[in-house]
Structure 1
Amino acid sequence: MCGRASVITPAALLEQRFNAAFAKAEQLSENVNISAGNKIPVITSARPNHIQMFTLGFTPHWAHKQTYMINARAEGSYNPNNDPNYDGPAGIFQKPMFRHAIKSQRCLVLVDAFIEGPKLEKLNKPHLVYPNKDRGPFALAGIYDVWQHPLTGEQHHTVAIVTTAANRLTQRIGHHRAPVVLTRKQEEEWLDKDLSMARLTSIMKPFDDKGFNAYPISQKIKNPEQNGLELLKPIGEKLFKDYDRSLYERLKYVEEKPFTIREERLVAGDQFVLF
């Protein structure tokens, strides 16, 4: 599964990266600890030129109450052992909860990172997974639906992140699942309503870990009320050695002037050696 997600990129840069404008009245707020019930930016197949804010936690339109399903298994009931080399059918097409949305209501879920923990310890040992090659926000494969409250009539736009078996990176964390991370080419395909079932199935595979890395962060992230950049601070070594700055360090400094500390990010006790 995908435990939590982080969105830090400002609205204008998200629009530039995904060539889409925020829909009217939509507002983006930095949130490093997005959990079920929180708003997350998406681009839907119905409105591919707009960024909208949907509730993380899928509820099908026919449900009697909100369900808050944050993940949807690509394999459905197949692949019970979560074999990363699984090459069988995508059971999500037969799941009553998801079968309508996966065929006609797909979306991009826009994030800067996601948080995952081991299968047993979960967010007691959280790790931040982020891109260390193509920096900046990226898209997870999502499905959405609009649920109307039976008493108030209020409409809720809800989304789930599609997951598949683990890749080398999430296996190193100790988790058996991973979100479907889309390449830029796949982003366009995922929003194509006419895309074949075969092609959709081929997209819903473990993502290429070569462009990503991860490091352990504080278990304070477990508390959905906790927020702020300090939650993304490393408390241990990266899973794979590289010579790039961690996501936390990139955000702590102004990108254009690498040795200038963003004043609004300073906290008591911070010390930096500039060289």
Structure 2
Amino acid sequence: MCGRYSFSKSKVQIEAELGVSLEAEGELIHNYNIAPTQQTYVISNQRPGALQLFQWGLIPSWSKDPKMGGKLINARAETVMDKPSFRTSIRQRRCLVLADSFYEWKKEGKEKTPFRIFPRNGELLVMGGIWDTWKGEGKVIHSFSIITTGPNQEMIPIHDRMPLVLPGREAQKLWLEEKDPAAIAEMLHTPGDWILDMYPVSDRVNSVRNNGVELQERVG
């Protein structure tokens, strides 16, 4: 599962790492404790040249209740091609979810220790996502889910799930552009080993009310 992450990159950094020029409205909003139902940055296959703010937690276009988005923050790679809530989006509406790290909690007995997990090379963390647009009640909501897979070697001691990390421009471009369902399914695999680094952080990250760069500081 991926239930909390952070974003503190600049537009210049993102453009340099992705090798693209992007439209964006004003200065980017940094968020060190992104939680479900909040707005955050993605690059969608519909507008690959723009940074867009979408709501985290996918609301299927056919849903009668927009509040269900808070429940669909992740989509399992093993079932995303078949689940009614996801099967159209994975084929037609994919996005790159932009971050600098994600948080995961390591359980030892009754204790849970939060870890900050980030690319070992210090670059942007790009996760594979799917999106949809919900219309109703006089509102239009663009929302997304993060694809999750089984853990790679460095994640095994922490948790049994992890985000679908897309390292490298080729994988990121393919995620946005691929149209063949079989080829899309081939991309839904556990990321390679030893691409991530991590360290424990304060349990202040447990509360969404806390949001500052100090949440990323190593403890212990």
TM-score, normalised via structure 1 length: 0.73
Match of residue 90, structure 2, among 102, 106, 130: 102
Greater relative contact order (Cα 8 A, min sep 6): structure 1 or 2? 2
Distance in 1 (alpha carbons) for counterparts of 2:82 and 2:88: 9
SS in structure 1 of the partner of residue 205 of structure 2: helix
Corresponding position: 1:212 with 2:196: yes
Query: Could you tell me how far 1:26 is from its partner in structure 2?
Result: 6.1
Is the 8 Å Cα contact of residues 142 and 160 (structure 1) preserved in structure 2? yes
Is the 8 Å Cα contact of residues 3 and 36 (structure 2) preserved in structure 1? no
Match of residue 147, structure 2, among 162, 165, 174: 162
- Of Structure 1 and Structure 2, the greater strand share is in 2
**What is the aligned partner in structure 2 of residue 3 from structure 1?**
3
Distance in 2 (alpha carbons) for counterparts of 1:166 and 1:125: 18
Q: For 1:62-81, what aligned pairs fall within 5 Å after superposition?
A: 62-66=62-66, 67=68, 68=70, 69-76=72-79
Is the 8 Å Cα contact of residues 145 and 159 (structure 1) preserved in structure 2? yes
Which letter does structure 2 place at the counterpart of 1:190? W
Relative to structure 1, the CA distance from residue 130 to residue 43 in structure 2 (aligned partners, 3 Å threshold; closer, same or farther) is: same
**What is the aligned partner in structure 2 of residue 244 from structure 1?**
none
Q: For 1:139-154, what aligned pairs fall within 5 Å after superposition?
A: 139-148=126-135, 150-151=136-137, 153-154=138-139
Query: Could you tell me how far 1:159 is from its partner in structure 2?
Result: 0.7
Number of residue pairs aligned between Structure 1 and Structure 2: 215
Deviates most, 205-214 or 224-233: 205-214
Q: For 1:1-275, what aligned pairs fall within 5 Å after superposition?
A: 1-18=1-18, 19-23=20-24, 25=25, 28-66=28-66, 67=68, 68=70, 69-76=72-79, 92-118=80-106, 124-133=112-121, 135-148=122-135, 150-151=136-137, 153-173=138-158, 175-184=159-168, 185-194=170-179, 196-236=180-220
SS in structure 1 of the partner of residue 5 of structure 2: strand
Is the 8 Å Cα contact of residues 2 and 104 (structure 2) preserved in structure 1? yes
Query: Could you tell me how far 1:199 is from its partner in structure 2?
Result: 2.2
Distance in 2 (alpha carbons) for counterparts of 1:211 and 1:44: 24
- How well do the aligned residues superpose, as a CA RMSD in angstroms? 1.9
Distance in 1 (alpha carbons) for counterparts of 2:111 and 2:165: 20
TM-score, normalised via structure 2 length: 0.91
- Structure with max Cα Rg: 1
Is the 8 Å Cα contact of residues 116 and 123 (structure 1) preserved in structure 2? no
